[in-house]
Amino acid sequence: MPSAIYLASNSPRRRDLLRQMGVRFEVLLFRAGHRCDEDVDESPLPGESPDVYVQRVAAAKVAGGIERVLLRGLPRKPVLSADTTLAVDGEIIGKPEDARHAIDILKRLSGRDHRVLTSVAVTDGERTEQALSASLVRFGPLSDEAIRRYVATGEPLDKAGAYGIQGRAGMFVEHIEGSYTGIMGLPLYETGQLLALFDIPPCSALGAHVS
């Protein structure tokens, strides 16, 4: 059966979560070289709040996705994208630049609450629908040694806030309020609600890739 949507994301976690929902999808891969796709600038704007930032970036990603569909002459179907960020004291915390930066972020999260924000956007080229999932996460106190061991695994380096709740960092989490899958990067409830607006029900087949 053909896929129901395109996924404009390289995140393996989002792929797994769509499969969990039973949604058939194709990954809309970026092209490199002389035909390369323009990437989204994820730099926060001056004075931009975390809530506004994450929604703006998700909207830009899904707009770039549908543009790639049209430019490549691919079959028309909705495009889904998402963006996740952390907020501590109102400050946007993205992916760490390197291991040292990851250590600094985790030290800041140790023993306190932070917010995890994931915005999901879906477009068919004519209309765009968007939803925001906001969750509260509390880490227990983390020793310097525990942080160093975790960072040495390499797991935090490609994740907003320098951790993945579904991985080894799950043992750091003392309490959550909100959406576990939203913290992972794709809130299933909100995603299902958005897809329903485009008459896309859960299906049974798995995803594939398109170039």
Q: How many domains does the chain have?
A: 1
User: What is the 3 state secondary structure string of the chain?
Assistant: CCCCEEECCCCHHHHHHHHHHCCCEEEECCCCHHHCCCCCCCCCCCCCCHHHHHHHHHHHHHHHHHHHHHHHCCCCCCEEEEEEEEEECCEEECCCCCHHHHHHHHHHHCCCEEEEEEEEEEECCCCEEEEEEEEEEEECCCCHHHHHHHHHCCHHHHCHHHCCCCCHHHHHEEEEECCHHHHHCCCHHHHHHHHHHCCCCCCCCCCEEEC
pLDDT at 36 over 70: no
pLDDT given for residue 3 in this prediction: 81
Q: Any idea which residues carry the catalytic annotation?
A: 83
Domain residue limits at 200: 5-210
pLDDT given for residue 206 in this prediction: 40
> What's the CATH code of the domain at 99?
3.90.950.10
pLDDT at 211 over 70: no
Q: What is the model's pTM?
A: 0.89
pLDDT at 38 over 80: no
Tens-place pLDDT, residues 80-133: 999 999 999 999 999 999 999 999 999 999 999 999 999 999 999 999 999 999
